[in-house]
Chains A and B, each alone.
Chain A
Amino acid sequence: MSYGVKLKVWGERACFTRPEMKVERVSYDVMTPSAARAVIEAIYWKPSIRWVVERIHVLKPIRFENIRRNELESKLSKNMVVKAMRDGRSPVEIFIEDKRQQRAAMVLRDVAYVIEAHFEAVEQDGLNEGKHLDIFNRRLAKGQCFYQPYLGTREFSAHFEPIDEIPASPLSGERDLGWMLYDMNYSDPGHIRPKFFHAKMINGVVHIPHPDSAEVRQ
């Protein structure tokens, strides 16, 4: 037994990066279940529950835009930090001029979604459904959050608010979105694996299979 929640999220841009195109980022056409989960967790989450996304309603036409930015090509290595920690002299720095990569991103424009989800208990405390549901809905109504949720990447922040009536989507017909990232499997922290599902959008609604169902492959 679990209770569902629904919320509207929207923003000027979004980038739900396809894992096969990460260098020059290309967004999926719609929000992934993992991004939807992250939006909900930004508002409320505790280790005793897990959020399960059921449906994503796409409220606006799918439009793309191209943005090219100067990015860094490398990350900071732990060894560099450790060396500086030890001797107190070694530089820890990256010069953007030497390590510059210009990368384009195909991002979504002007998006709005309704996310329908419920939570399931992972530990004893998670069985206290009323508590978690009330806290989530209270925060949603007041606009409270741990951090401002975002649509795929942090520069594309998401606005959120409660919604009663889910409006009809302007998108009609059936669209096969192909294999899409479902979420990451974090059960083994040393070996985090992606999970995929075959996504279809019917009249602007993507139905998300339950994480334990056979439809979710990894």
Chain B
Amino acid sequence: MEAIKNRYEFVYLFDVENGNPNGDPDAGNMPRMDAETSHGLVTDVSIKRKIRNFVEIVHKDQAPFCIYVKEKAILTKQQEKAYIALKDEGNDNPTIENARDWMCKNFYDVRTFGAVMSLKEFNCGQVRGPVQINFAKSIDPIMPNELSITRMAVATEAEAKKQKGDNRTIGKKALIHYGLYRTEGYISAHFAQNTGFNEDDLQMLWMALINMYDHDHSAARGKMNARRLIVFKHDGMLGNAPAHKLFDLVKVIRKDDGLPPRSFDQYEVRIERDRLPDGVELMEML
């Protein structure tokens, strides 16, 4: 299958209800914040992690949709992987290029996001993937809340002795009551040629963005949902409009109800279709 031939940009909105979308290791795992504006942040790598996990669930880590950077939590490891044999079987000494191509062919995350392969003296084993994602930022400032919770058990005998059989531990949970986050991404058709990122891979990416939070539930996350995925498709590889102008067409407006934001209904997503430049198609995937 051929690599994609169009440049894309996308605007992705997701929200969180009573949860922590992305903890900050520097702040005791409180939700990440921009200290200057109090807007919430979700890093690019957090979003990519969810995409990888979703693809791993859907394709069960089978070529060509293997995932290279894995999380243990959802590992379904098969010892006997059906790898696609290398075409030129007589290759006794594969070059770094051969290895790179083989990785691209078999691993979805390498094809999509790129990967760095190391070599001591000739370090060019790098793949730059076509998909580039920015940090996600909340539309409104967020108010992180730290809740104390109790556990009716203790971890060690020493603790039990100390508490004279009361056996309780206090823990903390950081969350925000509501946050609507927006991120933007880019897909370069030129880099897609390099890694072989094709139409199936693209559809997989959209599917992952739409569904990934439904497969990432945990005690910390609360209720997270993908809300909108708006895709701009250029009718060529180079594109027909600056990315920032396309992103500006999607406005997320807070309804003026005088209440703190607590649900997606309090926002309106306005798309200024009449200002869409020629040669760019707008698709609402979600």
**Residue from A77, A95, A155 having most chain B Cβ neighbours under 10 A:** A155
Q: Tell yes or no: B163 within 8 A of A by CB.
A: no
Q: Tell yes or no: A132 within 8 A of B by CB.
A: no
A77-B117, A78-B99, A93-B68 given; A160·B242 CB < 8 A: yes
A88-B83, A148-B188 given; A75·B118 CB < 8 A: yes
Q: Which of A69, A89, A145 contacts B45 (CB 8 A)?
A: A69
Shortest Cβ distance from residue A53 to the other chain B in the assembled complex, whole angstroms: 21
A144-B240, A150-B132 given; A109·B36 CB < 8 A: yes
A12 near B135 with CB under 8 A, answer yes
A150 CB contacts on chain B under 8 angstroms: 132
Q: Tell yes or no: A167 within 8 A of B by CB.
A: no
A155 near B135 with CB under 8 A, answer yes
A88-B85, A189-B122 given; A145·B238 CB < 8 A: yes
A96 CB contacts on chain B under 8 angstroms: 49, 69-72
A154 near B85 with CB under 8 A, answer no
A159 CB contacts on chain B under 8 angstroms: 242-244
A65 near B72 with CB under 8 A, answer no
A89 near B83 with CB under 8 A, answer yes
A155 near B81 with CB under 8 A, answer no
Which of A152-166 touch B at CB < 8 Å?
154-157, 159-161
Q: Tell yes or no: B174 within 8 A of A by CB.
A: no
**0/1 string, B243-283, CB within 8 A of A gives 1:** 11100000000000000000000000000000000000000
B132 near A157 with CB under 8 A, answer yes
A92 CB contacts on chain B under 8 angstroms: 66, 68, 103, 106-107
Shortest Cβ distance from residue B134 to the other chain A in the assembled complex, whole angstroms: 6
Q: Tell yes or no: B186 within 8 A of A by CB.
A: yes
Shortest Cβ distance from residue B93 to the other chain A in the assembled complex, whole angstroms: 9
**0/1 string, B112-143, CB within 8 A of A gives 1:** 00011111011111001010111101000000
Shortest Cβ distance from residue A145 to the other chain B in the assembled complex, whole angstroms: 7
- How far, in whole Å, are A82 and B115 apart by their CA atoms in the complex? 16
Which of B226-244 touch A at CB < 8 Å?
238-244
A82 near B135 with CB under 8 A, answer no
Q: Which of A156, A157, A161 contacts B186 (CB 8 A)?
A: A157
Q: Tell yes or no: B203 within 8 A of A by CB.
A: no
A84 CB contacts on chain B under 8 angstroms: 83
**0/1 string, A85-129, CB within 8 A of B gives 1:** 100110111111110001010000100000000000000000000
Show the binding face of A for B, using Cβ within 8 Å: 12-13, 65-72, 75-78, 81-82, 84-85, 88-89, 91-98, 102, 104, 109, 139, 142-148, 150, 154-157, 159-161, 189-192
Show the binding face of B for A, using Cβ within 8 Å: 24-26, 32, 34-36, 43-45, 49, 66-72, 75, 77, 79-83, 85-86, 91, 94, 96, 98-99, 102-103, 106-107, 115-119, 121-125, 128, 130, 132-135, 137, 184, 186, 188, 190-191, 238-245
